[in-house]
């Protein structure tokens, strides 16, 4: 309670400061705070920024999110929010953290957006956290699952939110699935040591797996952009694991799965949402992907009517089934639109307050309520690859 009151005092001070600053010539009524002009609320449009991986190593994520955002904005703008339309300003961070920081600065200082959506990966989102906090502009990552994005060393990043669940949850779900459904007793873990995402998932997997009575018999690492994993896989194979946990991104994962199967390593392999890209199937090949599983935010095969409605709208626009990144991009736009509506203004600080109070919001990836860390509490889906197609296996609640 004490925390809340302190926060309340802080916010009202911020608002007053904002109003005072607003009197200094900026006619967009208090939309600026602390000297930063968040004037995207002027006129008939509300500008929101999207800082995404439109090219580079994980371009497929950024592009999927952009598709989801575009579809959602099209729907939202049919009615508008309080008589205003949302306008999306996209920047490409080339899948690099330094570019992500630059992109955030550009969106805030030049385009004067009221909120930033992005980026797809944890690393690129973490690169923007400081900028968002300093400039008091909300930052919402659709798919950045690393816990430190919203909460670093027990301190909540006030202006940072997310639409997806966090890594510990994914790792725990994977460990439970391996122990209870696949009935394996030991596992090897192969980590992308250059990715906060991969390390986060692996840490929670190891905790949950050993607590559940399993044994980690091998732990190996690689770095993004590697292409030859045969040596490492040969080493893993020599220890005869029953299961491999491989939390990485699709480019390397595709190669690893392919090379593992070539070396005769045919045990089940499991990963997280980082696998979810059509490129994975192209790189690994359909056959190699059999007997692999992922935890994901949603499945287009889930019979839930809300999901099927979205799948239909998406297919009509893009002529393909939406993946989880499409869904989370779409959900993020609704998450933000809902907050802007409740805030009743395009002031970044008010939007932030409204975002933090989100409760029971019906989205495609589940019913969302934010906890005190700005992390959503919602369910995870487990999918299995069969002949290159993802099949809905089961749904796990937190």
Partner 1 sequence: MELIQQLVNGISLGSIYALIALGYTMVYGIVRLINFAHGDVFMVGSFVGFYAVTMLGVGFFPALLLAMASCAVLGMIIERIAYKPLRNAARIAVLITAIGVSLLIEYVTIYLRGAQPEAYPSTLLPDRNLKLFGVVISSQSLFILGTSLVLMILLQFIVHRTKIGKAMRAVSHDAEAARLMGINVDNTISATFAIGSALAGAAGVIFGIYYTKIEPLMGILPGLKAFVAAVLGGIGIIPGAMVGGLLLGVIESLVSGLGYSLWRDGVAFVILILILIFRPAGLFGKNVREKV
Residues that bind partner 1 (CB under 8 A): 55-57, 59-60, 94-95, 193, 220-223, 225, 227-228, 230-232, 234-235, 237-238, 251, 254-255, 258, 262-264, 279, 282-283, 285
Residue 230 beta carbon to partner 1: minimum distance, rounded to whole angstroms: 4
Minimum separation from the CB atom of position 220 to partner 1 (A): 6
Given the complex with partner 1, which of 94 and 162 has the nearer CB atom?
94
Phi first, then psi: what are they for 150, rounded to 5°? -100, -25
Measured from the CB atom, the residue of 63 and 150 that comes closer to partner 1 is 63
Nearer to partner 1, 62 or 366 (CB): 62
User: Which backbone phi and psi does 347 adopt, to 5 degrees?
Assistant: -80, 125
Strands (E) across 20-143 are located at 45-52, 85-92, 116-118, 139-141
Cβ-based nearer residue to partner 1, 111 or 226? 226
* Residue 254 CB, nearest approach to partner 1 (Å): 7
Residue 105 or 224 with smaller CB distance to partner 1:
224
φ, ψ (nearest 5 deg) of residue 133: -65, -45
| CA dihedral of residues 137, 141, 144, 146 (deg, nearest 10) | 40
Strand segments, DSSP code E, in the chain are: 45-52, 85-92, 116-118, 139-141, 151-152, 155-156, 160-162, 186-192, 215-222, 244-245, 269-271, 292-296, 361-363, 366-370, 376-377, 380-386, 389-396
Strand partners, 62: none
Q: Tell which phi-psi region holds residue 80, choosing left (phi > 0), alpha (psi between -120 and 50) or beta.
A: left
Non-local (6+) Cβ contacts of 256 within 8 A are 190, 222, 229, 233, 246, 248
Q: For partner 1, give the closer residue by CB, 93 or 365.
A: 93
Using the structure block, give the residue that is written with the tokens 């306008």.
87
The encoded tokens of residue 329 equal 């991009």
Q: With respect to partner 1, which residue has the nearer C-beta, 90 or 258?
A: 258
Cα separation, 182 vs 337, in Å, equals: 41
Rg (CA), the chain: 21
Nearest distance from C-beta of residue 102 to partner 1, angstroms: 17
SS (H, E, C) 312-341: HHHHHHHCCCCCHHHHHHHHHHHHHHHHHH
Nearer to partner 1, 53 or 158 (CB): 53
């Amino acid at each position: 309670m004490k925390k809340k009151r302190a926060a309340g005092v802080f916010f009202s001070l911020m608002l007053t400061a904002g109003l005072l600053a607003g009197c200094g010539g900026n006619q967009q009524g208090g939309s600026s705070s602390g000297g930063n002009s968040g004037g995207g609320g002027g006129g008939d449009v509300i500008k929101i920024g999207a800082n995404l991986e439109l090219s580079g190593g994980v371009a497929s994520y950024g592009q999927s999110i952009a598709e989801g955002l575009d579809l959602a904005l099209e729907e939202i703008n049919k009615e508008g929010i309080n008589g205003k339309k949302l306008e999306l300003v996209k920047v490409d961070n080339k899948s690099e953290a330094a570019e992500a920081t630059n992109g955030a600065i550009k969106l805030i200082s030049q385009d004067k957006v009221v909120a930033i959506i992005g980026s797809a990966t944890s690393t690129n989102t973490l690169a923007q956290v400081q900028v968002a906090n300093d400039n008091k502009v909300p930052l919402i990552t659709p798919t950045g699952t690393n816990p430190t994005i919203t909460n670093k060393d027990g301190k909540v990043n006030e202006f940072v939110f997310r639409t997806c669940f966090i890594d510990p949850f994914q790792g725990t779900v994977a460990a439970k699935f391996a122990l209870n459904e696949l009935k394996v007793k030991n596992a090897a873990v192969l980590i992308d040591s250059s990715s906060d995402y991969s390390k986060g998932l692996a840490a929670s997997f190891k905790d949950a797996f050993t607590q559940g009575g399993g044994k980690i018999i091998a732990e190996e690492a690689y770095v993004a952009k590697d292409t030859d994993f045969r040596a490492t896989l040969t080493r893993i194979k020599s220890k005869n694991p029953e299961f491999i946990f491989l939390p990485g991104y699709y480019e390397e994962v595709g190669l690893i799965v392919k090379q593992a199967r070539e070396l005769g390593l045919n045990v089940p392999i499991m990963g997280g949402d980082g696998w979810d890209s059509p490129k994975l199937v192209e790189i690994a090949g359909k056959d190699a992907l059999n007997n692999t599983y992922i935890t994901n935010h949603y499945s287009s095969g889930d019979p839930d009517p809300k999901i099927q409605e979205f799948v239909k709208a998406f297919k009509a626009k893009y002529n393909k089934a939406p993946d989880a990144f499409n869904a989370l991009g779409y959900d993020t736009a609704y998450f933000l639109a809902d907050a802007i509506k409740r805030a009743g203004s395009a002031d970044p600080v008010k939007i932030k307050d409204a975002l933090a109070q989100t409760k029971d919001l019906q989205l495609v990836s589940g019913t969302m309520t934010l906890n005190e860390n700005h992390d959503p509490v919602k369910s995870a889906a487990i999918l299995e690859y069969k002949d290159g197609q993802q099949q809905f296996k089961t749904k796990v609640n937190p």
